[in-house]
Amino acid sequence: MLTVIVPTIFAGVYYGIIASDVYISESRFVVRSPQRQAPLGLGALLQGTGFSRSQDDTYSVHDFVLSRDALTELDKKLNIRDAYSSRQIDFINRFPGPSFWDASFEALHRYYRNHVAIEYDTVSSITVLKVRAYTADDSKKINDLLLNMGERLVNNLNDRSRQDLIKTADMEVNIAEEKIKNAAIGLASFRSAQSVVDPDRQSALQLQGVAKLQEERIATEAQLAQVMKVSPNNPQISSLRSRLDSVNKAIASETQKVVGKSGSLTAKAANFERLALDKGFAERQLAAAMVALESARSEAQRKQLYLERLVQPNLPDKSVEPRRFRSILTVFIFGLIAWGVVSLLVASIKEHVD
């Protein structure tokens, strides 16, 4: 009576008369990305169309669907607290259920997680979303809204990724522009302060003038030697010597401008080269940053993640749960098992007493 008949009668009354019909709406989706390589299976099929699976982001969608934020939005838009608290639902399945004194949001969240299930296939990356409700329309509406919120989450992740990508590239461009401005100002200030445009080119011009003066000195020395040989007392000798001295002084002066210790073009060339290298490096850095920015903008024009609905939420036309006959049969079988165990214990105790 206690282990078999009474529990079976209670189960028959509850599952046969009291227990409310449960409708389950099911949908299937996959989160994929065009940037990641996929393994074999469905991922390979998606990759063949230019996409691949995105497992980490799929888990993000799963966590959000079961989160308190999702429940808050569902309650705000669909008022699911009232839907699950309807008097048409039996007292055991109705929220807050047997613990009628606890109608807090945390209790509702625990109740919600018992009625929304996520099944994930790691091989195909397909997610199955099941929503249990006590009317067919409620189960479909909740499932559909959860999918919409999941798509919105993926879009928000895309927007954040695009903004971060462009923001970082734009910062690099600004830094490079600032560097090239500073380098250009430094080079211009050096040229203005030192009265030099390009020490290397100016040195080349100076050395060309020195070479001409040296040619002139050689010609003057040859002419002086010839005159002294032919006519030692020729009055041209003094003028030639004076001319030779002038040429030597001019050579020394021009050479000093190129290779002198201080104020020469050679001394100025080191600082000039450093400033010119800084400017050239800044120009190359700016060019690379501009290319990166254009690439970031091009990448930002594409969605990086997609939540693809493979199966839309269905509107169930028949309740799936509770499985009334199976539940009653299960209670009956467990009652028989309990009756057998108790009978063995009682027989053992009687035998021990005897």
Cβ neighbours for 45, distance < 8 A, ≥ 6 positions apart: none
As a whole number of Å, the end-to-end CA separation of the chain is: 26
pLDDT of residue 97: 73
Give the start-to-end residue ranges of the domains of the chain: 1-19+324-349, 20-163+302-323, 167-300
Taking the C-alpha atoms of residue 77 and residue 96, their distance in angstroms, rounded to an integer, is 20
pLDDT of residue 47: 44
> CB–CB of 133/86 below 8 Å?
no
The C-alpha torsion from 269 through 272 and 273 to 275, rounded to 10°, is 160
pLDDT of residue 146: 96
Taking the C-alpha atoms of residue 197 and residue 191, their distance in angstroms, rounded to an integer, is 6
Q: Which residues of the chain have pLDDT under 50?
A: 36-53, 264
pLDDT of residue 189: 72
Can you read off the two tokens belonging to residue 299?
Answer: 């990448």
Please tell me the pTM assigned to this model.
0.62
Tokens 């098992």: give the residue.
337
Taking the C-alpha atoms of residue 339 and residue 275, their distance in angstroms, rounded to an integer, is 97
Taking the C-alpha atoms of residue 267 and residue 60, their distance in angstroms, rounded to an integer, is 64
**Phi and psi angles of residue 130, each rounded to the nearest 5 degrees, phi first:** -120, 130
Can you read off the two tokens belonging to residue 220?
Answer: 């003057």
54: enclosing H helix or E strand: none
Q: How many residues are listed for the chain in this entry?
A: 354
Helices 324-353 and 5-13: crossing angle in degrees, nearest 10, is: 160
pLDDT of residue 49: 43
Taking the C-alpha atoms of residue 311 and residue 327, their distance in angstroms, rounded to an integer, is 30
